[in-house]
Structure 1
Amino acid sequence: MKRSKTRASNGSWEDALTDADEVIKLDPSSHRGYARKYMALHGLGDYDAAYDALLHLISVSEDSSDEEMNRLRSNYNRAIAAIDSATDAIFKLCPLVLIDLAMGQLCDREGRRRTFRSETPFKKLVSEAAIAGVDRKHIRQIVVEYFKWVMLSHTWEGEEPTFKDVTEARSVHDLDRSPLDKKLRQFCETARKDDYRWAWSDTCCINKDSSTVLGQSLVSMYSWYEEAAETLVYLADVLSSSQIDALIKSRWMTRAWTLQELLAPKVIRFYDREWKLFLDDSDHPNHKESPVIKQALSQAMGLSPENITSFQPKHLGVREKLRLASTRNAGVEEDTAYSLIGIFSSDIVPQYGLGKVALGQLLENIVARTGDVTVISWTGKSLSYNSALPDSLAVYSKIPFAPPPMDINEFDTCMDKLRTGLAPQAPLDFYYRVTQLPRATFSDRCLRLPCAVFHVTNIGVQKLGGIRGNDYRAMVTLLGKVKFRTTDLMPLNKPQKLVFIHPWLRDLHDLRDGFESDDEREAESNVGSDDKWDSNSAESDGDSEHSTEYNSAPNSPLHAEPAAQMDPYTQALQLIVWLGRPFNALLLEQQSNNQYKRVAAENEIVISGVPYHTDPNDIEVKVLEII
């Protein structure tokens, strides 16, 4: 016994093991011999055998009060608990089912836990902790490294291998030799060559027969791509000899789901149809960091290079995200909405069979959660879910009207005219009425929208336009003549049912937006390309997402944080100046229940603004319910 211990202390592990075996032969009931054997096996680096010896040692020394035995047993229990805790943490981030690349089989979370416990990394970790004590940081590092996974991003091409197919075949390697089965196998082989153990493909790793599993997968998919070690993108229509334009023109760039599969991952590698690295670019392990690829994606998408490499949903405004989605198509109607759940951090519950109701639910959820009403800035056909919403995301590809910046001298002139032309209390009363309005809310298919309301007093047809709609001319309180085109039939005999509204009262919060000094114009003319991108992103606090991109609705000064504290009267005058600027109005028709429906205009209805000589008390502001 002493000789085994001495040899172990000198690093003579094989001799120490021989001595330990002799001790066990002499006294099989003694736990000390097993302790020496365990130490020797661990020292030799035979962690599988050392782990087995440790388990046996613990079982034969349960009643022992030996201090060394108690320490080993305690460390073992603490190590198992720490490993389970680290494993549970990673399981909260990873897909429900992954492909075991060593076996080619599908494996759920508990299956992966069992696999880990049967392999050397786990046994080494436990053995080390039993001797040296529990190092939770080290345990987390080993667990994360073992369970890291790689994701496949691709476009569906037909009858892809399903969860059932792979389960019945028992391995991806035993699937039929069809081209689509080959795609899955080559993905697995490529990932395996890169030393990954676990991989995920949407074709076979989601049991779509379970609505619960499918729903959870759709909601979690963005985070799975975000947390993955790497995403391999297979470009089925890109030849090996292709140049960078082939990526931009690929089908992969047009699909709804691949938007999040591009933005969410930290690391991406593109592969052509032969599973060769795109552009033969092996110099950049992460193609998001490839200058050529990054710049091409940035220009094609109208997105900053920084958002290509390190996209964060909260750093981009609602309207800008909708613009990115507007050019994408989905084979299943509901996927137009469900593919954006992660990008918008939405909490809608996926349910196939809803059709365009799914899009309505998504847009409703965006407004309800953020209060951002740029969602309703569009032209075209209304969604039956709610008339304020568009029938398609494609409308968001169009840049909505925004008035040009107002010269600071013109602004000062307007302010001076208001100071001399209005009774002091009138602007203040109006300002307080506006600031008391709540933010927009949306629930149960009803949009409750704070706005300025202008009533139609007369309406007539100006020109018949056939299928493109009719041109109308309306007389509107405070605004005068307003022209618009719509395919809807207007109630010519009941103009009082129609109102135009200014819906941007509480939208955005930068007081200075829209007012430009000479110095600012000169500074803007010297802005470099990097600075240009900074204006295309918007930080948000909490759950609110505000957009300050070039294609936003006009900005409101109501909730500003000016550098110097501004008195309420000056703020009130600025609000009136702002209302006097051109704006994109919405046309609503009153319903029998005092709710309103939006009249879908074929073109933006741009109003020149509320005349500055208007008595603010005559401007009606209220919350309207739009269905």
Structure 2
Amino acid sequence: MFCKTARDAGYRWAWSDTCCIDQNNNVEIQKSFNSMFIWYHHSALTIVYLSDVPPSSKSGAPAKSAWNTRIWTVPESLAPKVILFYQQDWTVYLNDRSSNHKESAAIVQKLQDSTGIDAQSLVAFRLGMRDAREKLQWASKRVTTLQEDIAYSLFGIFDVHLLVLYGENKQNALGRLSQEIIAHSGDITALDWVGKSSEFNSCLPADITSYKPPPCTLPSLSEDEMQTCVSTLGNIVDVELASKLYNLLDIGTPRFANRRLRLPCNAFRVTEVRRRLGQDQESCFTYDVKAKGLQDLSITTEDKLVQMSPKRPTRQSFLLIRPWNRHDLELPDFADEMMDDVDDWSEPGSPSDESHSGYPGDNELVDHSRALRLIVRLGRPFSALLLAQQRVGEYKRVASDNNIIAQVKDMASVRDMMDVRTLEIL
């Protein structure tokens, strides 16, 4: 029926991934997985057969279809420019006889409701590494027969080409994908998750389901509110110190290689960790945490933390960090810079990206207004990571069951934000 439907639509050839990929040929599997998104994108027509949607189905049927639960259908729904949905008896879905269901507002709305993917992406998706966290969330509710396909199915939407290594396990597969995204885009949204840490790297989740909760939405400032804060701070903040902090934060982008993450950040030294008593669950612990320059907060985790206080210090130290964000400096997205002409990239032997080429450096005067806007942003609540020191210069992330929302005690105290460094996280 698939071939007949394709022929009736005026085509002489049809390709089905289920039938047309030789699963016993590793070379063919590798080529197919790294090419499938492009194949679907350039198809004249993509036919989706909803085998469990009866002809009498109502408009909400795709949400209940097995098609909507599979991980591979994420790229299959995004890549094609022309797509038609067919029901169990091979009649078109909702009796919509238009030539392209991506042009049907009703069907696109149903797909958005059932997949969680926004309508704009469904209709005109642009592959790439931008908004990595959002794309990982699209896949977080999907299932697959082979655990590694959780990552392999997403190669196309991120435009990455990696080896297919069945048997490596899902943590390693997802870790390799995330490493590639961060290493080439500098996008740290993939670090925004709650749950268990991966064995690949502690800053990554053990399972893609950790991206299922929506990212923590922190209160934002309107431009009028920003200007009011800047005016207020101008009278109480050391502007020269704020400008120095701006320059300190221009320290390059996150780098991920060999399972190690080099992460630029503002660091706040933890001074006290105290476990709350009277907890019912022995598998989960809540700690009251104090850090220099931050308001007090609590953290819930499955990890047992070493309790510490000024009167009872320990050899192990902890940091609460704010990962460096280009938007705080009002710099363009790293993904946008990747699209620049290759001639704009540094030539071999020229200063590295850490020399701040093209941006305000230590010998340049940063506009005072921009420096104060930075202080306003750094004074807002932020999603923090808790790190435990392992060896000199190396840390591991302590996974939390909830987002860790931190805030500096005094927005006018620039010195509390001055501990800027690049940490190596295992």
Match of residue 589, structure 1, among 379, 388, 396: 388
What does residue 320 of structure 2 align with? 500
Instruction: Quote the residue 1:226 is aligned against.
Output: 41
1:454 aligns with 2:274: no
1:299 alignment partner, SS class: helix
How many residues are aligned here?
A: 397
Separation in 1, partners of 2:12, 2:228 = 69
Match of 2:179 in 1: 364
Partner of 1:172 in structure 2?
none
Matched to 2:102, the amino acid is K
**Cα deviation digits, residues 448-494 of structure 1 (max 9, x gap):** 10000011112111133525511101221111422111110112252
Match of 1:295 in 2: 109
Q: Does 1:321 align with 2:135?
A: yes
Matches within 5 A, 1:18-29: none
Shift of 1:410: 5.1
- The residue type paired with residue 262 of structure 1 is S
TM-score, normalised relative to structure 2: 0.86
Pair 1:617–1:391, CA change in 2 (3 A) = closer
- For 2:253, the aligned partner's letter is R
Q: Helix, strand or coil: the match of 2:67?
A: helix
What is the one-letter code of the residue matched to 1:497?
S
User: For residues 242-296 of structure 1, what are the alpha-carbon distances to aligned partners after superposition, in whole Å with 9 as ceiling and x for unaligned?
Assistant: 11211222110111001111110111111112222222222x0212222321221
User: Aligned partner of 1:255: which letter?
Assistant: R
Aligned 8 A contact 2:71 2:139 in 1? yes
Tell me, in whole angstroms, the C-alpha distance in 2 between the residues paired with 1:615 and 1:342.
43
Deviations 1:300-336 (A, max 9, x none): 3344433222222249622221221122111111100
Identity %: 38
Could you tell me whether the CA contact under 8 Å between 1:270 and 1:287 is conserved in 2? yes
Matches within 5 A, 1:277-288: 277-282=92-97, 284-288=98-102
Distance in structure 1 (CA, Å) of the matches to 2:36 and 2:108: 23
More divergent stretch after superposition (473-482 vs 581-590): 473-482
Match of 1:445 among 252, 256, 259: 259
Which residue in the other structure is 2:155 paired with?
Answer: 341
SS of structure 2 residue aligned to 1:450 = strand
The whole-number CA distance in structure 1 between the counterparts of 2:397 and 2:29 is 35
What residue in structure 1 maps to residue 378 of structure 2? 579
Greater mean deviation of Cα atoms: 442-451 or 286-295? 286-295
Q: Which moved more, 1:307-316 or 1:328-337?
A: 307-316
- Out of 329, 336, 348, the residue aligned to residue 541 of structure 1 is 336
TM-fit CA distance, 1:618: 6.1
Letter in 1 for 2:131: G
CA gap 1:259/1:467 in 2 versus in 1, 3 angstroms: farther
8 Å Cα contact 2:386-2:398 kept in structure 1: yes
- Return the offset for 1:509: 6.3
User: 1:501 Cα shift?
Assistant: 0.2
Whether the 8 Å contact between 1:287 and 1:293 is mirrored in structure 2 is yes
Aligned-partner SS, 1:484: strand
TM-score normalised by L of structure 1: 0.60
CA contact (8 A) 1:583 1:609 kept: no
Give the direction of change, closer, same or farther, for the CA distance of 1:574–1:335 in structure 2 (3 Å limit): same
Q: Which amino acid aligns with 1:500?
A: L
Counting only pairs closer than 5 Å after superposition, residues 89-488 of structure 1 correspond to structure 2 as 186-282=1-97, 284-314=98-128, 317-356=131-170, 357-406=172-221, 411-435=226-250, 437-463=251-277, 464-488=279-303
Gaps of 5+ in 1: 1-185, 513-537, 545-558, 561-565
Instruction: Measure, in 2, the Cα distance between the counterparts of 1:257 and 1:618.
Output: 44
Q: Is the contact made by 2:131 and 2:187 (CA closer than 8 Å) also made in structure 1?
A: no
Aligned to 2:351: none
1:26-52 deviation digits (Å, cap 9, x = unpaired): xxxxxxxxxxxxxxxxxxxxxxxxxxx
More helix by share: 1
Structure number with greater CO (CA < 8 Å, separation at least 6) is: 2
Are the structure 2 counterparts of residues 465 and 429 from structure 1 closer, same or farther at C-alpha, using a change threshold of 3 Å? farther
Shift of 1:412: 4.1
> What SS does the aligned partner of 1:471 have?
strand
Which is greater in Rg? 1
Taking structure 1 as reference, are residues 567 and 606 closer, same or farther at Cα in structure 2, changes over 3 Å only?
same
